[in-house]
Each structure stands twice: as C-alpha cells, then as structure tokens.
Amino acid sequence: MMKFRLFALFLGLSLGPGCGGSGTGSVDSTATGADFCRSMVDAFVASAARCPADLSPYWRDYFTGSVLCDQVDGMLAAGTLTYDRASGEDCLTHLRQLDCVDIGLPESCTDAIAGRLPAGSQCSYFEIAPFADCAPGNYCTYTGNACGGICQPYVQPGGSCAYTDASGFPRCTSGSSCRLESESCVPYVSEGQPCQGQNSGDCGDGLYCDWGTTGSGICHKRRTSGTCVDGPECAAGYVCAGPADAKTCTKAKLPGDSCTQGQAECYGLSFCGDNGKCTRTGVAENQPCGTNLQGEYIQCGTDLYCAGTATMGDNIVAGVCQKRKPAGSPCSGINPGECAGNFAYCDSTTSLCVTCN
C-alpha cells in the first residue's frame, strides 16, 4: 500500500477541488472512472471516521459541492488519464480495510486512474486525490503553484520525508509511512508490534493502533462486534455507532437503509435524513447544511457549497448551501468548494476565485 501525504491541506494552502459526494454516479460502482471516483470518496470518508480523532466531518465538508470526479471523467475521455477497473475494485477493498486515511490511500487507487508523465515532467496538481498525471511510481510534488508541480519518485523506506519549500512533503512508497518525529519513511507494522512511535510506522491491513492507557500504541486486529470508542477499532464495512456512551462496532448502513439520527450508522458520505433513511442526496440552495443538532452532516446538492461553516474542534458548525462562485469572484477561502470551474481555488493573495488551465 502507498500512503499519500496530504498535510498541505492542514497547513492552510489553497484547496483544490474534491470529489462531489452529491454528484451523479452509482454508490459502490466501479463501472466507469467517474463511478469509481465517487465510490472511492465514500470509502475515504468512512475510513477517515475511523481515525483516532474523527476527521470525517472535515472531509465531508471538503468534498461537498466539489467537482473533481467530473473533471477526472473529462480527462479520461480526453486520454490524459487511464482507468483500470480491476485496480479500482482492489482500491475500494483495501481502502475499507485501512485504519485511517487522514494522510494516505492504497497504491491500487493510483493504479486505477493513472497518468503517463515520467519523473521531471510538469504535472497537474490534485491537492487531495491520487489522480495526478504522473506515471506509476511517481507523484506530483507541490511546488507552491496551486495549479501544477513536478513529477518525482516516491521515497523508499529509510529515505527522508521531511518538508522542504521546494517539494513540500515527500511521499513514502508502498508499504511504508512517514513518521514526523524521525522525518523518515518506515515500513508498516504487523499485529502485536509497537506503532506510531518515534521510529515505528502505521499498522498494516486489518489492524489499528491501540493506544489504550499505556501511552504507547500496539497493533491489534479490527473487530466486527463489541464496544468501541473510535472508528479504527472496527473492521472494514463496520462503523463505531450508537449513543455516545454505548458505541459498538456495527455493520455500516447504505443509502436507503433505515437509520437513527445522531447514531453515526450511515456509510461514507451518506447521512441519516429526517425520513429515517440513509441518503446521499444533497439539499437545495439556501437550505441548511453542515452538522445539525442530531449530529448528522447534511450535504449540499450539485454546484453548491456549504457557506458559513466553521470548524470547532472536530465538528463542522452548520451553514447554508449557496451557489459556487465563478472565476474572478471575491472568496473567503474558508469554505471548501467555494469556487466553481476547472480545478478552481480561492487565491490567498487576491481573495478571488481562480481556475487552472
């Protein structure tokens, strides 16, 4: 597996577009590249919910109203990218087995939608997605230009993953992750071994890093039943759901399934609606969005973004769905998906919406 460095997002750099959770496309489908993109985002957000500090509210807000998957579909049609369905299916299988994807994705995700550019080539820069146009074995490094970077090889175990102004955060190759304390790529850890320490890496497939009360992490198998505190304890396809004081590892519910609001039962980008059913359907313009009083995150519909949201701790405070802004429009840069257009983002210097060629 390959973990992608995504820290540029948390450093406040300009956000690229994400994959629209409210767009068209079949849930859990890998029939086309666009279908796979949307299914991958569902699995990504579900895995983010299994992180020790639940990052799914952040990623749900980030993906709402954005159009990356539509842009990927267009680039596939133009021949800039290629799609391999077998790799797409493998990507979803492995992504659902990861403990936490706040900073990483399976290697098969990059193989599913792959580029052709060799190391040293100029490339389009997708801030959070694995769909750069660099050839397999390379990634598009961040060079300070929100619209593009340079293809360079992944870092091997033992190599440095320290941040530099020239190349941002280097990315570790398959089967390894970056330890911030040592600033080096280290192999994944097996069951029963120390994890996420100064020199120990993340846990391998089907495992989570259990910190317990000892102050040091140990890799354990994820479960399909029993009490839980955080999502990483539960196996792929399961969520840590229920009342705050009585959560258990439970089979995740899909759109259309009956659910109870505030119980975190729905899978991926779906949420439990007022009708007591899991849904992915985004709400209309001028309707409330973000986290409601029941703890459910409400998405906006196509071509809309959730305006007025704010991060408080691990929670996204509710806002209102508004139309995405065209290039040249004033923007805040606070709300993901605010700007419309090709790889649009809010320029931090001019506070105007900008699109990339």
**pLDDT tens digits, residue range 199-254?**
788 888 788 888 876 667 899 998 889 998 877 788 877 888 888 789 999 888 88
- Same-domain status, 307 and 262: yes
- Same-domain status, 138 and 260: yes
pLDDT band at 66 (very low <50, low <70, confident <90, very high): very low
Of 221, 256, 278, the residue that ends a domain is: 221
Q: Using CA of residue 271, residue 35, residue 80, residue 152, what is the dihedral sign?
A: positive
- Same-domain status, 146 and 182: no
The answer as to whether 22 is a domain residue is yes
- Same-domain status, 242 and 104: yes
Of 221, 246, 277, the residue that ends a domain is: 221
The answer as to whether 125 is a domain residue is yes
- Same-domain status, 313 and 328: yes
Nearest to 271, CA basis, from 69, 3, 10, 64: 64
The answer as to whether 34 is a domain residue is yes
DSSP letters spanning 129-169? -S--SBPTTEEEE--S-TTEEEEEEPBPTTSB---BTTTBS
Nearest to 180, CA basis, from 198, 167, 194, 192: 198
The answer as to whether 170 is a domain residue is yes
- Same-domain status, 301 and 246: yes
The answer as to whether 2 is a domain residue is no
Mean pLDDT across the stretch 148-169? 86
Q: Which pLDDT score is estimated for 153?
A: 93
User: Helix, strand, coil % (nearest 5) of the chain?
Assistant: 15, 25, 55
What is the domain-level CATH number for residue 198? 2.10.80.10
Q: Which pLDDT score is estimated for 281?
A: 78
Strands (E), 204-266: 207-210, 217-221, 238-241, 248-251
Q: Which pLDDT score is estimated for 352?
A: 95
Q: Which two tokens stand for residue 26?
A: 């079949």
The answer as to whether 3 is a domain residue is no
Full residue range of the structural domain in which residue 190 is found: 154-221
- Same-domain status, 272 and 294: yes
- Same-domain status, 191 and 330: no
Output DSSP code: residue 233.
Answer: G
Number of domains forming the structure of the chain: 2
- Same-domain status, 191 and 322: no
- Same-domain status, 116 and 190: no
pLDDT in tens, 5-54: 232 222 222 222 333 333 333 446 888 888 888 888 778 777 766 665 55
CA atoms within 13 A on the CB side of 166: 3
| Residue reference for tokens 């992608």 | 4
Q: Reduced to 3 states, what is the DSSP secondary structure of residue 232?
A: helix
Say how far apart CA 82 and CA 121 lie, in whole Å. Answer: 18
The answer as to whether 29 is a domain residue is yes
Are the beta carbons of 214 and 196 closer than 8 angstroms?
no
Nearest to 177, CA basis, from 5, 15, 353: 5
More confident of the two residues 55 and 288 = 288
- Same-domain status, 325 and 206: no
- Same-domain status, 37 and 104: yes
Of 200, 221, 242, the residue that ends a domain is: 221
The answer as to whether 75 is a domain residue is yes
